[in-house]
Structure 1
Amino acid sequence: MHQKLEEIVGYAQKKLGLNDYSLHEHTLYREKDIFNNTIYILSMEWTPNNTKESSPAGNAVVELNFHTKAVKRIVFVQNVTNADSAVYPSADKENVIEWIEELTDLTFGRQFLLIEDEEDVLSFGAAVDNIPVAPPGTIHVEFNKDGQLCMFSIDGHFPEEDEISWEPFALTPDTYETTARKQCQLVEMPDEEQGKWLPVYGIEEVYLTNNGKGVIPFDAGLGSMVMNETVLTWDAPVNKAFSNVEVDFSTEAVLEQALINEPHPDTKPVSEQDVDACEETAVGFLRMVYPEDSGKWKLTGIYRSNGYLFAELWPAAGTSRVIKRKIKLIIDPGTYEAVNYIDNDRLLEMFGHLNKAAEAAISKEEAFSKLREHVEAEPVYVYDQEQGTYVMCGKLDCPYGIDAVTGELLLLGAF
């Protein structure tokens, strides 16, 4: 075993109280964070020395950052643990928080806060002085019936002080009403009870900057996405069947890549060449699979994921339904050939029995006048890719909607 691996394995065994365990197998994989950095993870499976090899109960699955040794995940299979109990906390909330602080070097309140406290389960979220952040960071801890820790995981980013653009929350109803009015949209929601699509006015969630002048969309976290609004057309179909190729979304890496910290392929920017080639590929794909749909689809965005280029295709005509048709075309970044695709048409077929929505009987202004008092702007620090820092925003949201036919106030969580 390579010296670097031996060092991490030995550290994990001591740090996590696995003295009565033996390393069974290990794997390296890599991921990309929101800053477009590559992170290598060493995943290890440990087997208790006193159990039969055929029984997985009590096995420990541990993941550590290959370069920093930061613990990312601990799972004891089937909630059975033979680890040194002195290393782990009791199920007491305060004890868990202290243990997390020691394990992660994070500070409770300043960098993470409690968001769920149930029997034997505690969940925490990334924070800045008790204010949530987006994209979210999460910490999850579970205990078995004997009060022993059986699972720990930490995902996402927990900002440091130098990554924050500090300012007090300044949004008030007066400053966010204009944006809230713009975000009031008429959508159609599936109503299984009435067997139809229901037209509802609701407030589309968005992050509003602290000065009340800018917005950051909820889906802005897809860092490599290049937006595109090109309607795809062609003169004639292609009389050829599209062949799906099995895609490999594995993030597994080899030691040589980790040692030199080779960049994840998804960290490479989407170039103009990529955009042009993907547009051409998308047209070729549609000519084969949807040959009669010239002008009915538009290319909305291109991004990298799991080593592939993804092209998102939406109906050009658009729809007000909350569940929209979408195709994700998977493209080989080396050849620009379409290798597979994901079409959510089967999901939409589940609602094919619903009757069409009735025409709206009230206006957007009437609906907003009823929603105005229920609109909220909760403080949240949002990562702004353009500025490269977390900025204070208000999460503009409203738990209610307005039935566009009757004017009735509806709790949207009921749908």
Structure 2
Amino acid sequence: MHALTKQLTEHIQEKYQLTDSILHESSYVQDKMNDQTVYSFETFWIPYGTSIIEEDDGTMLPEGTVQIAINPVTKRTTTLSLHGSILVHSVPNDLRDISTRIAWLESETGMIHGTHFMLEEENETFFSYVSCYDGVQLSPGCFIHLTLTENGQLDELFIYGPHPLEHRVESKSFTLTLEEIKSLIQQQIKWFSYLKTGHQYAHTVAETFVTQEGTILVPSKLDFTTSIEVNDVLTWTGLSSKTHKRHPFQSGETVTANDVITQTQHPDFRPIPQETVSACRAVINGIIQSEYPADSGQWVLRHIYRQDPYLAVTLSHAHPTSYADQYRRVPILLDAKTLQWIDLVDYQEYHAAFASVTAPELEDHQQDIIFNALRPYLSLTPRYVFDASKGQYVLCGLLDSNHAYLPATNEVVLLRDL
């Protein structure tokens, strides 16, 4: 056993006093959060004298199994899952009382309720919290899911996402108003088609993050990856002389304790060499020639990006003739090392269902009508959003609406009713 693995195992065993359990298995997991690589040390503890039962439809965990995952650097617990009615040291026997629940969450996360995390949703046995900075939610941020049994005992604690104490936050006062960004709101009025006695049209305001300066900020994804914009039209002559077969999905490389110690960068952050881009383009051209032989010049290779252990490619129509064509995307997976074809997904039937849909053209006065109709139902909520260009969270306003305008009847209705 590696020295780090031994140290982390002993830490877990001591913290939760798992004296009646034995470590069944442990592993390291590598993940991405914002622009950083993070690691997790995951363990399964089973009671002495029991064993894991492997069945055709999955693994059967014995009563009393404890699943625990921690961050190997900070040693903060990220998963604590109990299989069966068991008591674990340092976990209160009944977490239904709010004071007991919050005090325990603060001790586990190192965060302060109301300052670093706040309640998002709850019912009798489930509590969902999101990370915040001085009461303002972070996007993307950490979320905490706490599930209890009917008698208030812990069932599962699951924490995922960037810890607010480990990221820079640009502290400001929120002053943005809806009136200041009226023209931007009108730009965010989007139409959509829904099936209700045929194709019907509705308009709503798309969820948008607006900076204090009145510009749109596209939030970074937690699974940020290296991406290259290509925008090459794929062309060929004649029929393909090469047969392209799909290969089975591959698993990524095993993450080791040494990766944690050296803080090895996630494979998705590695640059994509130009020679790989050229080789990838040639492979994709051959696959599309084989799959869509009559479509030379009709497809554009838009992006190549890493999705370990694959290279993912996005294609779109070069000359869309309908609204459905305009938004049709075909993703293809290639093995990152061999460039062997792994998968292609094309929802042709879905796009065919909307082939007759055409985008309505709005005059300026129509945009004013829609804006005025939706104005009472718009919200502008403070939200800290991670700006990858600055490497920190900046204060924005989340522009959103849960209503839609129906031009056929001049009604405003809840989106969920459509």
TM-score (norm 1): 0.87
What secondary structure sits across from 1:373 in the alignment?
helix
Whole-angstrom distance in 1 between the partners of 2:135 and 2:48: 43
Alignment check: 8 A CA contact 2:118 2:131 kept: yes
Alignment check: 8 A CA contact 1:29 1:251 kept: no
Whole-angstrom distance in 2 between the partners of 1:34 and 1:118: 30
Alignment check: 8 A CA contact 2:231 2:302 kept: yes
Counterpart selection for 2:130 from 125, 130, 136? 125
CA-to-aligned-CA distance 1:355-402 (integer Å, 9 cap, x gap): 944885975423233223322221100000001110011111121222
Distance 1:8 1:319, change over 3 A: farther
Determine whether 1:325 maps to 2:306: no
Whole-angstrom distance in 2 between the partners of 1:288 and 1:311: 16
Name the counterpart of 2:113. 108
Deviation at 1:3, TM superposition (A): 2.5
Whole-angstrom distance in 2 between the partners of 1:323 and 1:115: 36
CA-to-aligned-CA distance 1:295-321 (integer Å, 9 cap, x gap): 333333332222322112233428646
Name the counterpart of 1:40. 39
Deviation at 1:234, TM superposition (A): 0.5
Counterpart AA for 1:43: E
Alignment check: 8 A CA contact 2:189 2:206 kept: yes
Name the counterpart of 2:56. none
Name the counterpart of 1:63. 69
Name the counterpart of 2:307. 305
> More displaced, 42-51 or 179-188?
42-51
What secondary structure sits across from 1:101 in the alignment?
helix
Counterpart AA for 1:104: T
Distance 1:276 1:110, change over 3 A: farther
Q: Which runs of 5+ in 2 are unaligned?
A: 54-60
Alignment check: 8 A CA contact 2:33 2:224 kept: no
Deviation at 1:251, TM superposition (A): 6.4
> More displaced, 333-342 or 66-75?
333-342
Determine whether 1:171 maps to 2:176: yes
CA-to-aligned-CA distance 1:324-343 (integer Å, 9 cap, x gap): 53222112333444332233
Counterpart selection for 2:154 from 134, 145, 149? 149
What secondary structure sits across from 1:413 in the alignment?
helix
Alignment check: 8 A CA contact 1:362 1:405 kept: no
1:229-244 pair list within 5 angstroms? 230=231, 232-236=233-237, 237-244=239-246
Distance 1:29 1:270, change over 3 A: same
Say how many residue pairs are matched: 406
Alignment check: 8 A CA contact 2:93 2:152 kept: no
Identity of aligned residues (%): 23
Whole-angstrom distance in 1 between the partners of 2:170 and 2:95: 37
Distance 1:233 1:303, change over 3 A: closer
1:330-345 pair list within 5 angstroms? 330-345=333-348
Counterpart selection for 1:255 from 257, 262, 272? 257
Counterpart AA for 1:67: V
Determine whether 1:282 maps to 2:284: yes
Counterpart selection for 1:367 from 365, 370, 379? 370
1:51-90 pair list within 5 angstroms? 54=53, 56-77=62-83, 79-84=84-89, 90=95
Alignment check: 8 A CA contact 1:330 1:340 kept: yes
> More displaced, 402-411 or 49-58?
49-58
Counterpart AA for 2:371: F
Name the counterpart of 1:217. 218
Deviation at 1:147, TM superposition (A): 1.6
Name the counterpart of 2:381. 378
Name the counterpart of 1:268. 270
What secondary structure sits across from 2:345 in the alignment?
strand
Distance 1:152 1:405, change over 3 A: same
What secondary structure sits across from 1:164 in the alignment?
coil
Whole-angstrom distance in 1 between the partners of 2:46 and 2:124: 28
What secondary structure sits across from 1:83 in the alignment?
coil
Counterpart AA for 1:90: L
> More displaced, 262-271 or 48-57?
48-57
What secondary structure sits across from 2:285 in the alignment?
helix
Measured on the aligned residues, the alpha-carbon RMSD in Å equals 2.9
Deviation at 1:209, TM superposition (A): 0.8
Distance 1:261 1:136, change over 3 A: closer
Counterpart selection for 1:393 from 393, 396, 405? 396
TM-score (norm 2): 0.87
Alignment check: 8 A CA contact 1:16 1:87 kept: no
Whole-angstrom distance in 1 between the partners of 2:125 and 2:253: 32
Distance 1:370 1:249, change over 3 A: farther
Name the counterpart of 1:8. 8
Deviation at 1:153, TM superposition (A): 0.9
Name the counterpart of 2:57. none
CA-to-aligned-CA distance 1:75-112 (integer Å, 9 cap, x gap): 112x4324336566622222121111111211111111
Counterpart AA for 1:255: A
Distance 1:250 1:334, change over 3 A: closer
1:340-351 pair list within 5 angstroms? 340-345=343-348, 348=350
Deviation at 1:127, TM superposition (A): 0.7
Distance 1:399 1:234, change over 3 A: same
Deviation at 1:220, TM superposition (A): 5.3
Distance 1:65 1:355, change over 3 A: closer
Whole-angstrom distance in 2 between the partners of 1:2 and 1:362: 65
Distance 1:362 1:255, change over 3 A: closer
Name the counterpart of 1:26. 26
Q: Which runs of 5+ in 1 are unaligned?
A: none
What secondary structure sits across from 2:373 in the alignment?
helix
Deviation at 1:186, TM superposition (A): 2.4
> More displaced, 360-369 or 259-268?
360-369
Deviation at 1:181, TM superposition (A): 0.5
Alignment check: 8 A CA contact 1:120 1:142 kept: yes
